[in-house]
Amino acid sequence: MEKISRTKIVDLLKRHDFGAMVNVKGWVRTRRGSKQVNFIALNDGSTINNVQIVVDLANFDEEMLKQITTGACISVNGELTESIGSGQAAEVQARGIEVLGTCDNTYPLQKKGHTMEFLREIAHLRPRTNTFGAVFRIRHNMAIAIHKFFHERGFFYFHTPIITASDCEGAGQMFQVTTKNLYDLKKDENGAIIYDDDFFGKQASLTVSGQLEGELAATALGAIYTFGPTFRAENSNTPRHLAEFWMIEPEVAFNDITDNMDLAEDFIKYCVQWALDNCYDDVKFLNDMFDKGLIERLQGVLKEEFVRLPYTEGIKILEEAVVKGHKFEFPVYWGVDLASEHERYLVEEHFKRPVILTDYPKEIKAFYMKQNEDGKTVRAMDVLFPKIGEIIGGSEREADYDKLMTRIQELGIPMKDMWWYLDTRKFGSCPHSGFGLGFERLLLFVTGMTNIRDVIPFPRTPRNAEF
């Protein structure tokens, strides 16, 4: 076969120079036809759309054609012609075909519908399905949108450590990092592990958040964001939790809680708009195949201002709903950490648009949040979305050294790990705010997928670290 430089299918389908000789390479989705002519649907991952290859059987070797099965990888030289069928403007009349990789009938992605559960078992092959091709192209585009949003607003991308010796949330559910032989651990007389001979000389873990280091950077560079993997060793086997996920955490000096809410709303709208502008084919596919209300929901988020609601008022609305006969699985009372059913009631049934809940009781929020004058609540904000519940959590941070110290002592957080963090409150402290967005939760919203395991290539969940 003569050498013609390859055209990606996404570009080929936009061309109108019919009669040109082209080369396409990709994987066979389907092959159908009669004794005279076959039609091969070819996909190379650059777009949800396949290109149709028209094969006049008289011109090709029968043995070679037998190798062109679903999943096989081929290279095709041919003439770009106008497509008579509906759907696409262009197709390729094959002049030469080379089989680059055969695919036998044990290939699990034969032409039929597959369940999401089955596809998780073959996560190494699922990117080749239309659904996961769409999801992972959208995932890439969302990452681009995030960097673009912050870069255009003068934020600096700051890399915080993945291995850390401090537990940011005080939650304790961290994966340990060690080079020690776990069969032969040295312990002191109290039974505590001696870390002297470990790699870092002390207990180290995978990070649960880059926020604390991000705060240090914000008090020097003004406005920063992190975007990297985070790890939670929570035994949560739910459709909304992963043990390894990606998080975006902006932190901004001189921003108060209102600035923080404005930033969160602008940010999330920018990302949703980006998806509609740059991934429309993929979003439309997911809308048509999985979630008929997806595009409408995405557009709905763009046109409405988010409701801003104090926690106390939110609890009142939920209590009134209970009085009127609405059944929640979990009880509602002032001081409760809202469950996702409560969050979704406020968003989907009461307001019918996203809600930013503010001023939570300090007892259910992290130590670093700025306390309100009432002594009971903190300047926290959670952005609640339809179908998902919380998508962003953030706050204005406590900038006062004495107040922060008091809170750390109340909660019994080991100070030896926090000295560097407290320095920012001693040396030129400033008001500052930030938030965290779970990247996969954003992707759940944008793709309409219902399980967080289906928006990350290789999900890490309790008892699952395959591939």
DSSP H helical ranges for 184-238 = 211-221
pLDDT for residue 172: 58
d(CA 467, CA 451): 19
d(CA 375, CA 361): 9
User: What is the tens place of the pLDDT at every residue in 58-81?
Assistant: 999 999 999 999 999 999 999 999
d(CA 1, CA 74): 12
296 exposed, middle or buried (CB, 10 Å; 0-12, 13-18, 19+)?
A: exposed
What mean pLDDT is reported for the chain?
Answer: 94
358 exposed, middle or buried (CB, 10 Å; 0-12, 13-18, 19+)?
A: buried
pLDDT for residue 346: 97
C-alpha angle 223-227-229 in degrees, rounded to nearest 5: 145
58: left (phi over 0), alpha (psi -120 to 50) or beta: alpha
pLDDT-above-90 percentage for the chain = 88
Helix axes 257-278, 280-289, angle to 10 degrees: 90
Residue 170 has pLDDT above 70, yes or no: no
pLDDT for residue 463: 92
User: What is the tens place of the pLDDT at every residue in 25-57?
Assistant: 999 999 999 999 999 999 999 999 999 999 999
pLDDT for residue 84: 80
Q: Which domains does the chain have, with CATH numbers?
A: 9-101 (2.40.50.140), 127-172+208-454 (3.30.930.10)
Give the highest mean pLDDT range of 187-196, 235-244, 370-379: 370-379
pLDDT for residue 86: 66
User: What is the tens place of the pLDDT at every residue in 295-313?
Assistant: 999 999 999 999 999 999 9
